[in-house]
Amino acid sequence: MKTSEWIAILDFGSQYSQLIARRIREQRVYSEIVPYDISATELSQRAPSGIILSGGPASVFDPRAPLCHPDIFHLGIPVLGICYGMQMIVRALGGIVKPARSREFGDTQITLIDTTSLFKQMPDQIQVWMSHGDHVERMPEGFHVLAETVACPVAALADHDRNIYGLQFHPEVAHTPQGTDVLRHFLFDICTCSGDWEMARFIKDAITKIRHQVGAEHVVCGLSGGVDSAVTAVLIQQAIGDQLHCIFVDNGLLRSGELEAVEKTLGESFGIDLIVVDARKLFLDALKGVIDPEEKRKRIGKTFIDVFAAEALKLGNIKYLAQGTLYTDVIESASPIGGPSVTIKSHHNVGGLPDNLQFKLLEPVRELFKDEVRVLGRELGIPGHIINRQPFPGPGLAVRILGEVTEERLALLRQADIRVQQEITDLDHAADIWQSFAVLLPIQTVGVMGDSRTYENVAALRVVGSLDGMTADWIRLPYDTLARISNRIINEVTGINRVVYDISSKPPATIEWE
């Protein structure tokens, strides 16, 4: 995306790289995570206002440690190194880093020595979040200490003449209460950013880019009913009108009323060319007897591709495939330091299409986080019931049914889910909830209904808060709310006689059960 000012974040594998990007965008400055080995020439051509070197799991002593191009420090662009990033700056510019006698992990008090730049107008001591086993023994020529701790003589450093700075701690995490102020000083005082990045400007730039990329060709988009695909479709339609064709595959794994909502909002209200394919039987047949969650996802993905491809072929010569890929998808798919990445869950975006459907990809929101996509949707006039819709897994209810997926079990879960959503919607803080749903467990328990013994299913209730789905914590629902949800499901949904509440956070658990 073209923007007059932006911050490049070189990713060395830190678990906090996305958080750095988010913190910067919260200041209305566009940021982008780029590979750690991006060349100095490319950075110079793209002209960022500043460069941030993220932390990372490696040690600078590792012979395979990822290193940035040394010419980056001679571009005249302000640089901020965080944790590993700071140690790399020190070694690259002639300083010395050594293993610390005492490692620092967690909350730490740092003492400020110089408050003229990153720590302007801050008290003598501030709380920060440390996570390091190495420390700076000797600074490169031209640098001086900004802050120290008892165990770490150089907790922050600077070369004001070259505008190169380093922090041994993480300013981007909530455990560093004044970390945002530190980043603001870097963005506005040192990089002289104006903070004028806004969604209206993104829309204008995105529409121009789509028109230029697509030209007179046509685009096909798979709609899921979720926020990402809906926003993607409306944005593209505003750019190219009836050159867009959307396909909604009814896989039979949807929540109650989802298809009708998509038809009414996107088909009728926005006038998008919407094709609905009833493939419920195909998906259920493909899932028959399948218990393994990853196998479920693979079969659902393959069946979707088969159905989508067959329908897309009917449209004739389509050149582009639109996807609601988000920035989190892009980052999670990358392996920033060349190592193997573990598959937590298969990605559900359209992939593996047959050879006779070699589309060019169109991913207009791939630079945005989830909450930014919601803002974009509101700017585009998409109604709240779509924009504020909770994230829903691509494989649908199939991954909220542990064990085999059948028509009967789907009907049971839908009824439980309706009651969860009704009760959650009535809460005063419903907007703070990222996801709330029921999970049908593959066990039965004994119960008593009236004077009769029952032996029926167990439903688990999952309600979490999150900003972007990367981390999440379980919501402390009021007992009265939990009681109402449990009573309604047990009394109104025949086939469930027990409700349990999931109090696991992510990590170590995931939000979805499969």
Distance CA 186, CA 183 (A): 5
Alpha carbon distance 95, 482 (integer Å): 58
User: Counting every residue, how long is the chain?
Assistant: 514
Select which of 5, 135, 152, 172 is catalytic.
Answer: 172
Phi-psi region at 24: left, alpha or beta (left = phi > 0; alpha = psi -120 to 50): alpha
- What is the strand order of the sheet 244-250 is part of? 273-278, 244-250, 219-223, 320-322, 360-362
Give the DSSP H or E segment for 53. strand 50-53
- For residue 507, say if its preceding peptide bond is cis, omega within 30 degrees of 0: yes
CA angle 66, 67, 68 (to 5 degrees): 130
Question: Can you tell me the distance from the alpha carbon of 301 to that of 305, in angstroms, rounded to the nearest whole number?
Answer: 6
160 assigned to active site: no
CA dist list (Å): 116 to 86, 148, 190: 19, 15, 11
> Which run of H or of E encompasses 20?
helix 17-25
Taking CA atoms, 324 is separated from 164, 350, 418, 420, in Å, by 37, 10, 26, 27
Q: Which among 68, 104, 152, 170 is annotated as catalytic?
A: 170
Alpha carbons 35 and 22: distance in angstroms, whole number: 17
Catalytic annotation present for 172 = yes
379 is catalytic: no
Distance CA 440, CA 403 (A): 9
The full DSSP string for 397-417 is GGGGB-S---HHHHHHHHHHH
- Pick the catalytic residue: 83, 152, 193, 246? 83
CB 86 within 8 A of CB 110: no
> In one letter, which amino acid is 373?
V
Catalytic residue numbers read 83, 170, 172
